Amino acid sequence: MKKYIYISTALVLGLLASCATNPFSGKKTLALVPDSEILPAAFAQYSSFLKENKVVRGTSSAKLVESVGVKIKNAAERYLNANGYKGYLNDYRWEYNLVDNKEVNAWCMPGGKIVVYSGILPITKTEAGLATVMGHEVAHALANHGQQRMSSSQLQNYGAIVAQVALSEKSAETQAIAMQAYGITTQVGIALPFSRSHETEADEIGLTLMAIAGYNPDESIAFWTRMAANSGGGAPPEILSTHPADATRIANLKRLIPKAKAEAAKFGVTYK
């Protein structure tokens, strides 16, 4: 029992000491893994990825990806500087690359390392559609969602250790059943909702970034509607998914767009 108390106490103290502030929501977030570890690893992984994949350079599409990326980055800097977070991006090393890949995807690693797959361009269609995607992906990095996911995973592992200690005097069968239940519960009840909340937050931040960058956030609805049509309705039930259902996402966007426009207006960018 004493060992259980020691581990639990250490876990609580560690959590209290390992928090960061989300510059967009002002909320405290888990930061068990520091940026000093995350960013060098992300930069190395990004470099390796580019070497192992076909990067498209010099085309109109590649230039558009870079142009939109720069506008989104500048919008992020304007927002952060205006809201008391000057220097927040000092450790970022921005890159914007188009990769020849049929997959409908794009991502941004911690530190501003962006990749857009050519397979998503027929769905983005317009510059504003591309800004919707890149704003969303950059938002994940700015809100430190990767750091939070790693921290959450560590926390789940710590919880499993505490559970194992608490169950150490039980039978092997009881321990196995309990740990299986713990795994299912934390996945469906914590990890997946956590991921869906990140997606919704990235949508909200992304709308703000694209709006400040000069792209009408209303255009996000058209893009996500095309994405929904492209998926063919084959997604798992929302409760078992890392992403909100298409209908949920689009409804959320419609609710969040007025706020994004209001934020952009603070920077002299207005929309009807």
The per-residue DSSP string of 87-156 comes to TTTTT---EEEEE---S--EEEETTTEEEEEGGGHHHH-SHHHHHHHHHHHHHHHHTTHHHHHHHHHHHH
Is 77 known to be catalytic? no
The per-residue pLDDT for 263 is 97
The per-residue pLDDT for 184 is 42
Given a contact cutoff of 8 angstroms between Cβ atoms, the answer to whether 159 and 126 are in contact is no
Instruction: Report d(CA 18, CA 16) in Å as an integer.
Output: 6
Per the domain annotation, does 236 fall within a domain? yes
The per-residue pLDDT for 176 is 54
pLDDT tens across 17-61, in order? 456 777 887 777 666 677 788 899 989 999 999 999 999 999 999
The per-residue pLDDT for 18 is 58
Per the domain annotation, does 152 fall within a domain? yes
Looking up tokens 């209303």 gives 218
Given a contact cutoff of 8 angstroms between Cβ atoms, the answer to whether 46 and 38 are in contact is no
- For residue 107, the cross-strand partners are 115
The per-residue pLDDT for 156 is 57
Q: Count Cβ atoms within 10 A of the Cβ of residue 43 and give its class: 0-12 exposed, 13-18 middle, 19 or more buried.
A: middle
Domain harbouring 158, CATH code: 3.40.390
The per-residue pLDDT for 21 is 76
The per-residue pLDDT for 186 is 42
The per-residue pLDDT for 35 is 77
The per-residue pLDDT for 143 is 86
pLDDT tens across 153-163, in order? 555 554 555 54
H or E element in which residue 242 lies: none
Per the domain annotation, does 270 fall within a domain? no
The pLDDT confidence band at residue 171, using thresholds 50, 70 and 90, is low
Number of domains observed in the structure of the chain? 1
Instruction: Report d(CA 255, CA 252) in Å as an integer.
Output: 5
Please check the confidence at residue 4 and state whether its pLDDT lies above 60: no
Given a contact cutoff of 8 angstroms between Cβ atoms, the answer to whether 231 and 243 are in contact is no
The per-residue pLDDT for 182 is 38
Per the domain annotation, does 204 fall within a domain? yes
The encoded tokens of residue 36 equal 């000093």
258: containing domain: 2-265
The encoded tokens of residue 80 equal 């952060």
The per-residue pLDDT for 26 is 76
pLDDT tens across 201-249, in order? 999 999 999 999 999 999 999 999 999 898 766 555 544 355 578 899 9
Per the domain annotation, does 246 fall within a domain? yes
Per the model's pLDDT, the better-predicted residue between 103 and 199 turns out to be 103
Per the domain annotation, does 245 fall within a domain? yes
pLDDT tens across 84-136, in order? 999 999 999 999 999 999 999 999 988 999 999 999 999 999 999 999 999 99
Per the model's pLDDT, the better-predicted residue between 50 and 167 turns out to be 50
The per-residue pLDDT for 178 is 47
Per the domain annotation, does 272 fall within a domain? no
The per-residue pLDDT for 78 is 97
Per the model's pLDDT, the better-predicted residue between 234 and 179 turns out to be 234
Check residue 240 and report its DSSP letter: G
The per-residue pLDDT for 224 is 93
Given a contact cutoff of 8 angstroms between Cβ atoms, the answer to whether 119 and 102 are in contact is yes
Please check the confidence at residue 251 and state whether its pLDDT lies above 80: yes
Per the model's pLDDT, the better-predicted residue between 146 and 162 turns out to be 146
Cα separations in angstroms, 119 against 61, 137, 139, 225, 247: 12, 16, 21, 17, 23
Average pLDDT over residues 55-71: 98
From the list 95, 137, 199, 219, the catalytic residue is 137
